Amino acid sequence: MINYQGILNSISADCSLSKDRGKVATYIPELAKTDSSKFGIHLVDSNKNNFQAGDSETVFSIQSISKVLSLAQAMGLIGETLWTRLDVEPSGDPFNHLSLLELENGIPRNPLINAGAIVIADILVSNLKNPKSDFLQFVRNLAGDDDIDFNREVAASEKRTGFRNYAAANLLKSYGNLKNDVETVLDFYFHQCAIEMNCSQLTKAFYLFMNRGKCQKDKTYLTLRQVKRINALMLTCGFYDEAGEFAFEVGLPGKSGVGGGIVALLPEKFCVATWSPGLNTKGNSKLGMEALEQLTTATAQSIF
C-alpha cells in the first residue's frame, strides 16, 4: 500500500518553504489578484480513497484545464468527425501562438491550444441547446457537484483583454473553420475558462479519464477509444511548449491552466490535482510541476 497521505504531506511541507514560486498570470487582469502563497494538492485513487494537503478546498480559475472537458463533451456529441477540423500534433509553441494556424490553413495543431479549443467551443455552440449552461452542467455531472460555477468577473476580464483569442477566432473564421460568429464563440470560450474549481473537485471531474470513461458515480461518458485519445493528447499537448518537459519530469498525462492548476492521472491508479498560482516562464504552475515530479518519484508510479 502506498502511503499517499504521507507523501502529500511531505510535498506540501516542501512547497510551503519554497522561495521561488513563479509569477501569477497578469494578462487576464482578474487573475492578477490571486494570492501567490497558496498551494493545494488532492489525490483520489482507483478505490475512491481521497488524500489531500494544503489549500485543496480553495477554488481557483481552471482556465485551460477546461479544454479537456470541452473536448470530452464535443467527442461525445459528434465523435470522429471532429478531427476534420483539428489536428492531433503537439505544437511546440505557446498556447496563444498564431503563426502555425496561418501556415496550416486554419487547422489548429491540437484541441488543447487556444485556437483548437476555440474550434471545440464552436462545435459545442453549434450542438448544445444552451451552450454555456449545458457545458457547465456537463462539468457538474462529471464531478458530481452542482456548486461548480463560472466566475463571471474573470470571463468579463478576459473578454476585455483577450486580443490574441480574438485574432485566433478571426483567423479561424477567415479559413471557414468557425461556423458561428466570433463574439458568440469567444463568449462561450471565456466562460468555460472562467469555471472555478478546487483541487478536490478537479480530481472528481477528471476521474473518468483515469477510470476507462466512467465517472465516480459509475456512469459511462466516454468509450475506451475516446479516453485513450484524450489521454494521449494530454500527454503530448497538455503543457503548452513544455509538454516534453512534463513527460520527462513527471511522466503522466495531464493539463495545466494559467490559473495555476494542474490535473494529471495514472490510468487505473490515481488522479491528482495541484494548485499554486505562480507560473514558470512557459505558463505552467511552478510548484505544481515540482510537486508532481516528487509524487511520481516518491511513489515510483508513472506511465513509463
189 given a catalytic annotation: yes
Query: From the list 64, 180, 211, 280, which residue makes contact with ligand GLU (rule: CB under 6 A)?
Result: 64
d(CA 124, CA 135): 8
Of the candidates 4, 51, 95, 239, which one interacts with ligand GLU according to CB under 6 A?
95
Nearer to ligand GLU, 63 or 200 (CB): 63
Give one word for 271, left, alpha or beta, with left for phi > 0 and alpha for psi -120 to 50.
Answer: beta
Instruction: Indicate which residue of 189, 221, 227, 250 is catalytic.
Output: 189
Q: By CB under 6 A, tell whether 158 contacts ligand GLU.
A: yes
Is residue 257 involved in binding ligand GLU (CB under 6 A)? yes
Query: Does 67 qualify as catalytic in the annotation?
Result: yes
Cα 140 to its chain centre, rounded Å, is 15
CB-based contact 36:24 (threshold 8 Å):
yes
- Which residue, 165 or 177, is less far from ligand GLU as judged by CB? 165
Window 6 to 25, contacts with ligand GLU (CB under 6 A): none
* Contact between 165 and ligand GLU per CB under 6 A: yes
**C-alpha span between 181 and 3 (Å, rounded):** 51
Task: Report the residue count for the chain.
Answer: 304
- Amino acid present at 245: E
Indicate which single residue of 114, 177, 200, 203 sits in contact with ligand GLU (rule: CB under 6 A).
Answer: 114
Contact with ligand GLU (CB under 6 A): which of 12, 63, 73, 203? 63
In terms of DSSP bridges, do strands 270-275 and 40-45 run parallel, antiparallel, or are they unpaired? antiparallel
Shortest distance in whole angstroms from residue 256 CB to ligand GLU = 7
CB-nearer residue toward ligand GLU: 121 or 247: 121
Q: Does residue 179 carry a catalytic annotation?
A: no
**72: how many CB neighbours lie within 10 A of its CB?**
24
| Integer Cα distance of 210 and 280 in angstroms | 27
Catalytic residue flag (residue 64) = yes
Specify the residue, 213 or 283, whose C-beta has the smaller distance to ligand GLU: 283
CA separation for the pair 36, 52 (Å, rounded) = 19
42: three-class secondary structure by DSSP: strand
Smallest distance from ligand GLU to CB 195, Å: 11
Give me the catalytic one of 154, 258, 263, 272: 258
- Among 110, 45, 124, 42, residue whose Cα is nearest residue 77: 124
Strand, coil or helix: what is 255?
strand
Catalytic residues: 64, 67, 189, 240, 258
Residues that bind ligand GLU (CB under 6 A): 63-64, 95-96, 114, 158, 165, 193, 257-258
